[in-house]
Structure 1
Amino acid sequence: MRTVLMCHADDAFDRQGLAAWLASFSDLAGLVLIEETGEQKRARVRRELKRVGPWRFLDVLAMRFYYRFRLAAADNAWMGERLGDLRARFNDVAGVPELRVSSANAPEVARFLAACEPDLMIARSKQLLSKRIYRVPRHGCLVMHPGICPEYRNAHGCFWALAERDLDKVGLTLLRIDAGIDTGPIYGYYTYPFDEANESHVRVQYRVVLDNLDALAQRMRDIVAGTARPIDVAGRPSGVWGQPWLSRYLRWKRAARTAAPAAVAAE
């Protein structure tokens, strides 16, 4: 099975950890590394501002500051340890062809993919892909979406499921990209026994990947082999979510800490 990984160049978890994981069970034929420009990042901010409005956008900014100064240091230390675990478990990747671009839909990406001849591409990008990109791999482009679809599509699905107290919908969706936002065929759901009282939403997002690597690898083999069948989601509600809000984060954590003693008492 030939694979390509598309990810952001500055994301060590993807660039080093997931690349090594992919190379452990497939022929990793290429890496597409996205180096976004400042204008691209500002455009994403403008889209979120337009989506939620100025007052709610302040809530988004407050969450960004809160995370940076209260949570990021602990999460970064934890991520460093997990990345070390991945590198110890899998061999470091070397000699794999790389393409560095600012846009996931640049013409050179299509040419690079055609030369790699992948069966699958794993897309870990904040940018939506065009048809000319996601149709190149023989069996499509897969997303390990942090959220259960169709209920928690778009951004930060794990956060919003926790904030909504929809705890049965905290997890990861393996889906194939189509023209919509997380609307493609779904090939699996994955979760783990998360600790919502003590884990941040960012840590939950990464652990739904880390704790299911073996199952995800097998599912990808099944897709290429033609034995995997999409899950029927007809009739289920569909929701498009966005960036986390500090107000909802604080409300979630209060609810989680209240629920934790009750769960211990019940045991």
Structure 2
Amino acid sequence: MRTVLMCHAEDAFDRRGLAAWLASFSDLAGIVLIEETGTQKRARVRREFRRVGPLRFLDVLAMRLYYTLRLAAADRAWLDESLATLRTRFGEAPGVPELRVSSANAPEVAAFLKDRAPDVMIARSKQLLTRRIYRIPRHGSLVMHPGICPEYRNAHGCFWALAERDLDRVGLTLLRIDAGVDTGPIYGYFTYPFDEARESHVRVQYRMVLENLDALAQRIREVAGGRARPVDLTGRRSGAWGQPWLTRYLRWKRSVAAARPAAEPAP
């Protein structure tokens, strides 16, 4: 099975860790590295502003600031340790052809994929792919979405399931990309015994991948081999979510603290 990984250049967990993991069970034929411009990042900010409005956007900014000041350092240290664990288990990422682009839908990406001829592409991108890109791999492009679909589509599905106290839907969805936002055929759900009192939403999101690498590898092989069948979504509700809000984060953590037995020390 030939694979291509698409990820953001600054994300070492994906670029080095998941690349080595992919190479452990497939023929990793190439990596597409996205290096977004400031203009692209500002456009994403404007889209979120239009989506939630000015007052709620302040809530989003407050969450970003809180995360930076209170949580980011610990999560970076944990990610470094997790990457070291991946490198110990799978070795260094192999030297394969790389393509650096600012847009996941650039003509160069299409040419690169046609040249590399993957059976499957694993897309770890914040940018939505166009049909002319995601259809090039023989068995399509797959996403390991942090959230249970269709209930928690779009951004930060794990955060919103935790904030909504929908704990049975805190997980990861393996799905094939289609023209919608996380609306493609679903080939499996994955989770782990998360600790919402001691783990940030970012750590939970990464651990959904880290704790399920073997199961994900097996399911990806089944998709590429034509043995996987999509999940029946009849009667399921669908929801698209966005960036975390500080008000919902604090409410979530208060709910967790209130439910903790009195004898259990706070983290």
TM-score normalized with structure 2 length: 0.97
Return the alpha-carbon distance in structure 2 between the equivalents of residues 263 and 41 of structure 1: 46
- Which string of whole-angstrom CA distances, capped at 9 and with x for unpartnered residues, describes residues 17-66 of structure 1? 00000000000000000000000000000000000000000000000000
1:257: how far off?
1.6
Return the alpha-carbon distance in structure 1 between the equivalents of residues 161 and 104 of structure 2: 28
Aligned partner of 1:108 in structure 2 is 108
Aligned partner of 1:16 in structure 2 is 16
1:259: how far off?
1.9
Aligned partner of 1:118 in structure 2 is 118
TM-score normalized with structure 1 length: 0.97
1:262: how far off?
7.8
Structure 1 moving runs of 4+ over 6 Å: none
**Structure 1 stretches lacking a partner, 5+ long:** none
Q: How does 1:109-258 map to 2 (within 5 A)?
A: 109-258=109-258
1:260: how far off?
2.7
Q: Let me know the Cα RMSD of the aligned residues.
A: 1.1
Aligned-partner SS, 1:226? coil
Return the alpha-carbon distance in structure 1 between the equivalents of residues 51 and 242 of structure 2: 9
Identity %: 79
- Which string of whole-angstrom CA distances, capped at 9 and with x for unpartnered residues, describes residues 243-264 of structure 1? 0000000000010122232898
1:91: how far off?
1.8
Q: How does 1:38-57 map to 2 (within 5 A)?
A: 38-57=38-57
CA contact (8 A) 2:36 2:103 kept: yes
Aligned-partner SS, 1:261? coil
Aligned partner of 1:63 in structure 2 is 63
Return the alpha-carbon distance in structure 1 between the equivalents of residues 262 and 191 of structure 2: 22
**Structure 2 stretches lacking a partner, 5+ long:** none
Return the alpha-carbon distance in structure 2 between the equivalents of residues 54 and 120 of structure 1: 40
AA matched with 1:250: L
Return the alpha-carbon distance in structure 2 between the equivalents of residues 202 and 167 of structure 1: 16
1:154: how far off?
0.1
1:94: how far off?
3.0
1:235: how far off?
1.3
1:85: how far off?
0.2
AA matched with 1:227: R
CA contact (8 A) 2:23 2:94 kept: no
Q: How does 1:23-38 map to 2 (within 5 A)?
A: 23-38=23-38
Return the alpha-carbon distance in structure 1 between the equivalents of residues 91 and 109 of structure 2: 26
Return the alpha-carbon distance in structure 2 between the equivalents of residues 176 and 164 of structure 1: 26
AA matched with 1:38: G
- Which string of whole-angstrom CA distances, capped at 9 and with x for unpartnered residues, describes residues 121-172 of structure 1? 0000000000000000000000000000000000000000000000000000
Aligned-partner SS, 1:144? strand
AA matched with 2:24: S
AA matched with 2:178: D
1:114: how far off?
0.4
Return the alpha-carbon distance in structure 2 between the equivalents of residues 92 and 180 of structure 1: 35
AA matched with 2:76: N
Aligned partner of 2:91 in structure 1 is 91
- Which string of whole-angstrom CA distances, capped at 9 and with x for unpartnered residues, describes residues 55-110 of structure 1? 00000000000000000000010111000000000021232000000000000100
